[in-house]
Amino acid sequence: MNQPLLKEARPEVDAQSAPTGVGATLRSLREAKRLSPAEVSARLKFTNRQLDALETEQWDRLPSGVSLRGFVKNYGRYLEADVDALLIMLDNQVGPTSMPRVAVSNAASLGPSDLPLQGEPTHRPWGWFVIILILLFVAGFYAVERGWVPDSWLVFDWLKSLKK
């Protein structure tokens, strides 16, 4: 009962014309949406060479690992495709492209030679903080001298003497 519906829904697709790799799949999805490679390249900020290398599955012309995975993921999202299926196809073609697991060693096995000699430098914005404070003090004294500050705000007598 379902078989005639499937054949009617997609009569132009048969087993021989279906794309087999991730590149061919992405190309057929792009062509089905009637997008040119230049449009996709401009939207995704990838070069035409990278796009062509992916669609023709020239893996040596593309970055490997996580970068390639991200490239396929972004392209699949743009084409509104099943990104997980594309990534599985990519892993089957190229090999695992996900990030490798890092083994964590026991803290007890660490010795003094494993610790850095100096701590990592911390970059604190103290310089900017000091410059801003100085500018605020200068602006405050200028405002007091010009008479822009009411007398009720001046709690110290030496500030009132600046105003005169």
CA distance 79 to 82: 9
Tens of pLDDT along the chain (164 residues) come to 444 444 444 445 444 555 678 888 888 888 888 988 888 888 888 888 888 888 888 888 887 778 888 888 888 888 888 888 888 888 887 777 655 555 555 656 666 666 666 666 666 778 888 999 999 999 988 988 888 888 888 887 777 777 66
Domain boundary residue, one of 76, 94, 112: 94
* Structural domain of 149: 127-163
Domain boundary residue, one of 43, 70, 94: 94
Q: Is the pTM of this model over 0.75?
A: no
Domain count, the chain: 2
In a domain, 72, yes or no: yes
Amino acid at 89: M
Q: Which of 90, 52, 44 lies closest to 69 in space, CA to CA?
A: 90
In a domain, 108, yes or no: no
pLDDT of 9 reads 43
| CATH code for position 77 | 1.10.260.40
In a domain, 138, yes or no: yes
In a domain, 112, yes or no: no
* Residue 87 shares a structural domain with residue 148: no
Q: Which of 73, 68, 76, 118 lies closest to 95 in space, CA to CA?
A: 68
Contact 92, 25 (CB under 8 A): no
In a domain, 44, yes or no: yes
CA distances 38 to 34, 46, 78, 124, Å, are 12, 10, 14, 45
